[in-house]
Structure 1
Amino acid sequence: MSFDAKVFKILIASPGDVDEEREAIPEVISKWNNLNAEANKVVLLPVKWETHSAPLLGDRAQGVINNQIVTSCDMVIGVFWTRLGSPTGVSESGTAEEIEWFIQNQKPVMVYFSSRPIDPKTLDIQQYAALKDFEKKMQKLGLTGSYTNITDFKEQLLSQISVNIKTLLSGIPSTPPTAQEAKEKAASIKKILKDGKVYMEDYEKDGKVKSFVVKGDTKAIKDALKERGGKWNSTLGGWLFPKTKEVEVAAFLKIHA
């Protein structure tokens, strides 16, 4: 029998070394739906970039994915093992950028780090080091879980999804923070997420976003940023560019930052 339900879209975010987990997550979501959907009047829809996005010119690749699928999702499940992924010009990797978007927009985030055995012969040391730095940042925000095998991962995920569904159903927190508290929390989160890297963020003026700023440790690339039309802004603490330069600068940062 049919029933009315609220549909929540869940983004599956990960680099390319956790294929088994990426297959397991939709299975767990399907099981959750079978057990809970009718009773809770909630249906969960798994979303992957490979099935829900399409090629599009005119923006950096991660920007296209963000616009097509990330910003329309209600929650994210991130999974990592030995790799973080490739830089996007905005963040350390596409997966990291997706997770950061959910954190900054105060949407539920579930991040898991695998402790499965690793074959040293196949390990990319730079990727692994970057992943460990990212894991430390997530731990500071209290967002991480860990698992030892795929069965352990499925069991944890199935039980923990319900907690975040309750958060989504509640809508606004029962004791929302004051404007000042929200501002301070957002600044604290941003500091943790952006610590020790070069990144881009939009600059809004008079209610419109016509520029963006490159911030972080830019000493080594300051001349190149200047050559590309960047102007140092001490008030903003970064290099100011018009939005028309966004793709060019993102491509440069992906390689050189």
Structure 2
Amino acid sequence: MAFKATVYKILIASPGDVDEERQAIPDVIARWNNLNAESSGAVLLPVKWETHSAPLMGSRAQAVINEVVETCDMAIGVFWTRLGSPTGVSESGTAEEIEWFIRNNKPVMLYFSSRSIDPTKLDIDQYKALKTFEARMQKIGLTGSYTNLTDFREQLLNQLSINVQKLISGSNSPVPSQREVRERVKSIEAISKAGQLYMEDYEKDGKVKSFLVKGDTKDIKDELKDMGGRYNGSLGGWIFPKTREVELAEFLKNQRKK
């Protein structure tokens, strides 16, 4: 029998080394829907970039994917040995997606696999970057861990139910003021961005026509100035027009590789 329900879009975010988990998450979501959709009046829709985005010229690749990301209500992130490739805006595409959810005060469920690793296949630089990222996320309190795929499925189903109930109800805790939300997000974002070079849209009069390069820019300030950047102390970054986004993303991506 038909029933009315609100559809919540759940982003599946991960690097390329957790394919089994990426396949398991839609199965767990389908199981949750079978058990809870009618009684809760909510249906969960899994979203993957490979099935919900299309190529678009004239924009950096992650920016195209972000158009899909920004339609989602919650994210599930999974990591094992890799963090992913830098985007210019963040240290990886997956990290950039997660940072968007943090910045917009939307729920994020992060899992880090502790199953065994073949040392002959391990990219040491990627693994170090992942562990640094994990440590930052632990300070925010977003992380969980699992030992195998069965463990992951069981944890995800249980914790998904808890988080979806919070999503439906808007949380049982008192609703914070807009100022409290901004301060909380600012504090969390400062932790998640610690030690990074990154780009951030700058909105003025309700429009985004420029962006900021922020973080530890001391060693590249001359290059940023030569590229037409203007430092704004009150905003804490170098301002560029939006038309330079792809160029600056490539420049910052190369800085991370050094």
Judge same fold: TM > 0.5, yes or no: yes
After superposition, the Cα gap between the structure-2 partners of 1:101 and 1:173, relative to the gap in structure 1 and judged at 3 Å, is: farther
Aligned amino acid, residue 35 of structure 1:
L
Q: Which residue matches 1:196?
A: 195
Q: Which residue of 2 aligns with 1:137?
A: 136
Deviation at 1:96, TM superposition (A): 0.5
Once the 2 structures are TM-superposed, how far is the Cα of residue 167 of structure 1 from its aligned partner?
Answer: 1.3
Q: How many residues align?
A: 256
Aligned pairs for 1:81-230 (under 5 A) are 81-171=80-170, 174-230=173-229
What is the deviation of 1:10? 0.6
Which whole-Å CA distance do the structure 2 matches of 1:161 and 1:135 have between them? 20
Q: If the length of structure 1 is used for normalisation, what is the TM-score?
A: 0.95
Residue 240 of structure 2 corresponds to residue 241 of structure 1:
yes
Answer whether contact 1:79 1:111 (CA < 8 A) is retained.
yes
Do 2:102 and 2:185's aligned partners in 1 also have CA atoms closer than 8 Å? no
Residue 64 of structure 1, CA deviation = 0.4
Instruction: For residues 9-51 of structure 1, give each alpha carbon's deviation from its aligned partner in whole angstroms, at most 9, with x where no partner exists.
Output: 1110000000000010011111111111122121111111111
Identity %: 71
**The 10-residue stretch of structure 1 (181-190 or 167-176) with the greater mean CA deviation from structure 2:** 167-176
Following TM superposition, by how much is the alpha carbon of 1:207 offset from its aligned partner in structure 2, in angstroms?
Answer: 3.1
Offset at 1:234?
2.3
1:175-225: per-residue Cα shift (whole Å, max 9, x none)?
Answer: 122343223212211210111010111222333322211011112222221
Q: Is the 8 A contact 1:32 1:158 kept in 2?
A: yes
CA distance in 1, matches of 2:118, 2:44: 35
Task: Provide the C-alpha distance between the structure 2 equivalents of 1:243 and 1:58, rounded to a whole number of angstroms.
Answer: 12
Q: Please give the root-mean-square deviation of Cα atoms over the aligned residues, in Å.
A: 1.3
Give the direction of change, closer, same or farther, for the CA distance of 1:52–1:207 in structure 2 (3 Å limit).
closer
Q: 5+ residue gaps in structure 1?
A: none
Question: Cα offset for 1:110?
Answer: 0.4
Q: 1:154 and 1:255 mapped to 2: Cα distance? A: 37
> How far 1:173 moved relative to its partner?
5.8
Contact 1:108 1:167 in 2 (8 A): no
SS of aligned partner of 1:72: coil
Instruction: Give the direction of change, closer, same or farther, for the CA distance of 1:41–1:126 in structure 2 (3 Å limit).
Output: same
Q: CA deviation at 1:156?
A: 0.4
Deviation at 1:71, TM superposition (A): 0.6
For 1:145 and 1:45, the matched residues in 2 are separated by: 22
For the residues of structure 1 that align with 2:222 and 2:182, how far apart are their CA atoms?
33
Check the 8 A contact 1:88/1:250 in 2, yes or no. yes
State the partner residue of 2:252: 253
2:6·2:42 contact (CA, 8 Å) conserved in 1? yes
Matches within 5 A, 1:26-41: 26-41=26-41
Superposed CA deviations along residues 110-154 of structure 1, whole A, max 9, x for unmatched, are 000000001111111110011001101111111100000000000
